[in-house]
Structure 1
Amino acid sequence: MSQPSVAIVILNWNGKHYLQQFLPSVLATAYANLRIVVADNNSTDDSVAFLQQTFPQVELLVLSKNFGFAKGYNEALKQVQADYYVLLNSDVEVTPDWLAPVVDLLESNETFAACQPKILAFKNKTFFEYAGACGGWLDAYGYPFARGRIFDVCEEDKGQFDTTQKIFWATGAAMIIRSKAYHQLQGFDEYFFAHQEEIDLCWRMQLAGYSVFCCPQSVVYHVGGGTLPRGASKKTYLNFRNNQIMLAKNLPWSEKWWKIPYRLLLDQVSALKGLLAGDGGYFISIVDAHFAFLYWLVFGNKKWKPKRRKKLTKMAGVFPGNLVWEHFVLKKKSFAQILNKKKTSS
């Protein structure tokens, strides 16, 4: 029986140094029916010339401008045919046998649409990495966190999450996705540009009847913060804006009418806290994000309209409480501590 076809697609923007460092590990992936593609998002460094000269075996797609993460992948994947896509950041080191366990899991059931490996920190390989850790979750109010990462606190990997499990979202740093599902759901929401677009897509996948998994038998190492470091004003803006848009798109009306105003209030509290701490840029980014969200409500492209919406706490990978309260007030720093208080959805 032949292996399903897999295309590893790396979206690059001015990342020559990462390609030079990490592309050899990707090329060493032990999987026969594999193609490796770099989609260049109109880099201004010499990434394209470097790839052509150094890695001629890698397929190269050159996009006409920097479309951002969301549209960049949408444009690239229109030109790539495979049973499965691997969306892989350029700053990820993979292990030789990382791919087969994930593909085998997705092949076991047609309703399994996406999966991520265990993501460990490249600079400290015994700890989980911020972007996805061992599988993404949401709380009841739309705050993202992960098995092994609560806000900025990353846990040490002691094997505590070494079970394959349904999750809410798979990280865009290393997401393996069934191509049929990707195109059926129209890919990423291009309005997002970057940040939280993978959470939105995974939410839409669940609403369409698919499941999302983490497969910790597969391990990769992520540098993180390569394009926009955490704390950057643009990243703050995109995260806060896109989170609100995601809630407005996917929550049922029974929840969105009160959860969105509640989240706007919590965001403003966070902004004021930043201002009092002397971080005016953080404050301005959140205020700008809220105005941009209001603009989206009036003028945004609402091409995706779920045929059905489901109560958030009835979905896989959702904590039915308030993550902000649990972490910042009750001082809970680990995934196990957060989930210990209340029964979680399954």
Structure 2
Amino acid sequence: MRRGSAVLALAGLIGVIAAATVASAETVALTGRFPADYREPSFLKRMGVDRIDGPDGGGLGFALERALANRGHYSVVVLNGRASGDVDGLLSGLVTTEISELRTTEERENCLEKKKDNFGKEECVRKEKTTIYCRKRTIDLTADVRIARAADGRVAYSSRKPRHNEVKWCPGQSAPGAVDGTVRSMTDSIADEIAREISPRTERYDLRFYESRDAMPKEMHTRFKDAIRATQRDLPGACRELEAMEAAAPQFAIAYDVGICAEARGDYEAAIDAYRRAATLRPRDTADFDSATDRVRKLIVQRDDERARR
């Protein structure tokens, strides 16, 4: 076999091994409820969309109504300057839009003379620079939005959302789409971003069990490996086995996997305790364990917020 072929074959074999390793990793798919980035407005369940000033304020208002309704967390009430009525929050704002279109120049290089080289390939031997006239359109749209509590007028959320669009076209190129369509895309983008920021979210995520047997007593290797494999067919039974193993001989990998088990069954406090035990036993992997702890803390926050709302 030639050296090049041998290298390719080896690389292919390594790729297959790597793919098999990834494919064999045992994971569990979970679904969790996480808090809004801005929690305070998420308590205002009945949201009144009040007047959004500015030439494109109406478009943003419609977009906000759709985006909030699509999130399913808020009951949306359209006010448009009318009395607030029975609402918990008042969403209002101002949109400013600046549109400019001007002529601009661009230099292009044209080939005046070509010649074939020794291999028959054409190359340019004489060039000329020319100036062409193009058009450039710029749209800058900024939305200032706030949400006030209806009960006392206190601001629960305030944000400025800028959007910028710039397009240039020259002779021979198609002109851009209409300004109205671009502005509508900008307001839709802002509305979606605001709705994401103030709404709790449901996320599906995968957790991978630790399979490291570093520092683990040799007599536990097979038992631990069997327990990890069993997570794919009998998660509760595998978790009981992991918990028994940790009670007998604490190990960082077992502690972490016990944390995953607790998170999977919704016992978030127990999950945090297990992740902390893992961090204590394996300080060099603290970043992994801290990430898990932070995630579960967020799950606890949203769980407690929902209980408070009920």
TM-score range, shorter-chain basis? under 0.3
- Which of the pair is proportionally richer in helix? 2
TM-score, scaled relative to structure 2: 0.20
- Which of the pair is proportionally richer in strand? 2
